[in-house]
Structure 1
Amino acid sequence: MKRAIREKVKLLEQTYRDTAECIFCGATPTTDEHIFSRWTHKYMLPAKPGKAKSYVAVKHIDRVVGANFKLPGPIRDWQIRCVCGPCNNGWMSQLDTAVEPLMMPLILGQQTRLFEKQCEQIAAWAVMKSMVVHNKWVHHTRRKFLKKAKRPPKDWAVWIANYNRRDWEGEWLSWPVAVRTDAEKSPRRKAAYNAHVTIQIIKDLYIHVTNLPYEGFAAKFRFRRSDGAGLNVVRIWPYTGTSIVWPQKALQDEDAMMASEAVFRFLMRNDDAARRIAGA
């Protein structure tokens, strides 16, 4: 089997993976977890007949590997069997219930203000969903931390934006990344998938989550258009120390697409630059 085919088969096997044991506590058996919570379904794009399509691209040090997926049905019904009943119906359900009233104004573009606690809860919810999707590539210590602390680990970051959707139909995007964490490693050495970017879009709310092995990256990274102009994407985790007034100036389709690829393309160009930004 050719190398490119082997890599795509491996990617298919490792992405959106069901597990026999709960990814958060190790218990059995596991149950299905909705990626898009049921209360968000009425705000999503109209369901299309047939199976939803997904494309995942993985950035290695020297190349990019991509693979196409078909989900079992419409994306709103997307579920992954990887959490136990006590976790699913316990702390995960409690977090889901807690963030619904916080996120409704964001989803509907209504006036609100987010303070530290609200930012932390929304970020924890977004990271929980990202961990479920990419459970293969998230270290077990990070998953256990989220379960215990009910806040994201410090090497995760979450941004949000107000989005004025026109024609773009993106609702979930995944960008797994293989980056170096040791500057002395050979640039030709293959790195394991050790990071990823996910984007979840629910009506007017754009949520951008990163899991990178550079703790200082989020504080210094800026979302920009190809012409260098800034994109109105605000960080909620790690908390900036300043409350967020909503709604922000809305992203248009082109801006939302640029923002969704910004971190991935930055790392694809030069992960050494990411290390310098993070102070690694």
Structure 2
Amino acid sequence: MTPEGKPNFASVENVRHFQGTLFNLTVKAVCGDCNNGWMSQREATVRPILGPLIKAQPLVLDEDSQRKLAAWVAMKIMVQEADNPVDMVSTFEDRTWVRDHLRPPPGWQIFIGQHSQAEWNTKWQRYASTLVTSDGNGEEFKDVETLAKNMQMITFGFGKLVVNAFSTKIIGLGIEYAAEHSLLFRQIWPWKGNLLWPTGRELSFAQIHKASVALRDFIAVNARSRSVDLPQ
């Protein structure tokens, strides 16, 4: 489907370096029972998987381990989103979904890669945006800034591991890497197949950066267009 009229975007970008490790990241917006309950259980479940990943030690990531890792990634992203509620994409229902189903909600894609870039050991970068289009009759949304964000891309490093995740509320919308990037970033969600770690192909700083700004670049291109292709 290609909606008539010009797409409209309102975007925000956040870059931060966390202190300590991702295991310690919490925000006051998350209730104590959640931090000390099901979230704490997810942390314990993923530790045996994350250990080899962040140290680039040999590991076979099967479907179950990829699902657990993907659920942990989604949980951490949602926790950090709550640090700035105005720009949140995930909802209470999404957090409940992760808790109840132990997997990311619909609309999530998660990729992992191997790196040795010091800056990305503790870097967290998030780009969130609102996408709306005209109604087909030439009437464009003028108040896009007041609408909730409906898509985001998050890239963060944790030791030798770098994660690149995309989530959206636009059903069927997704990202697809070029062939060369697919050799470097391996998709863990939705599950495609078992993965061997380490990958044997380290990401350069430029390659990580390119992935981290993919949503920003998509918006930069389509914001100048008269239409944007959306799934049917």
TM range (shorter): 0.7 to 0.9
Equivalent AA in structure 1 for residue 169 of structure 2: P
- The alpha-carbon deviation at position 132 of structure 1 amounts to 1.1
Specify the alignment match of 1:61 in structure 2. Answer: 8
> Is contact 1:62-1:187 (8 Å) kept?
no
1:122 to 46, 69, 73: 69
The TM-score, its normalising length taken from structure 1, stands at 0.65
Q: Which residue matches 2:162? A: 206
* Of 53, 58, 83, the match for 1:111: 58
* 1:158 and 1:235 in contact (8 A); partners too: yes
Q: 1:142 to 1:183 in 2, by over 3 A?
A: farther
User: Aligned letter for 2:177?
Assistant: R
Quick check: 1:238 aligned with 2:190? yes
Compute the displacement of 1:263 (Å).
2.7
CA offset at residue 65 of structure 1? 5.2
Give the gaps of 5 or more residues in structure 2.
1-6
Q: 2:110 matched to 1:158?
A: yes
The structure-2 alpha-carbon separation of the partners of 1:238 and 1:188, relative to structure 1 and needing over 3 Å to count, comes to same
Q: Which moved more, 1:164-173 or 1:92-101?
A: 164-173
Tell me which of 129, 137, 148 is aligned to 1:192: 148
Please give the residue correspondences for 1:250-265 in structure 2 after superposition, counting only pairs within 5 Å: 250-265=202-217
> 1-side partners of 2:229 and 2:215: how far apart?
9
1:247 aligns with 2:226: no
CA contact (8 A) 2:134 2:140 kept: no
Superimposed CA distance per residue, residues 72-101 of structure 1 (whole angstroms, 9 cap, x where no aligned partner): x84757541122222211111111011111
- Give, in whole Å, the separation in 2 of the partners of 1:117 and 1:181: 38
Task: Judge conservation of contact 1:107–1:203 (CA < 8 Å) in 2.
Answer: yes
Number of aligned residues: 210
Alignment of 1:1-280 (within 5 A): 61-62=8-9, 64=11, 74=19, 76=21, 79-135=26-82, 136=85, 137=88, 138-165=90-117, 171-180=123-132, 184=136, 186=139, 189=142, 190=144, 191-218=147-174, 221-223=176-178, 229-230=180-181, 232-240=184-192, 242-248=193-199, 249-270=201-222, 273=228, 275=230, 279-280=231-232
> Which position in structure 1 is the counterpart of 2:3?
none
CA RMSD of aligned residues (A): 3.0
Query: Which residues of structure 1 form unaligned runs of 5+?
Result: 1-59
Decide whether the 8 Å contact of 2:117 with 2:205 is kept in 1: yes
**TM-score normalized by structure 2?**
0.77
SS in 1 for 2:71: helix
What residue identity is the alignment partner of 2:51?
Answer: M
Taking every aligned residue pair, what percent have the same amino acid on both sides?
A: 24
Other structure's SS at 1:113 match: strand
- Counterparts in 2 of 1:84 and 1:253: CA distance versus 1, 3 Å: same
Q: Does the 8 Å contact 2:75/2:98 carry over to 1?
A: yes
Structure number with higher relative contact order (C-alpha < 8 Å, ≥ 6 residues apart): 2
Counterparts of 1:67 and 1:132, CA distance in 2? 14
Contact 1:165 1:203 in 2 (8 A): no
The alpha-carbon deviation at position 213 of structure 1 amounts to 2.2
- Residue 23 of structure 1 corresponds to none
Whole-angstrom distance in 2 between the partners of 1:95 and 1:120: 11
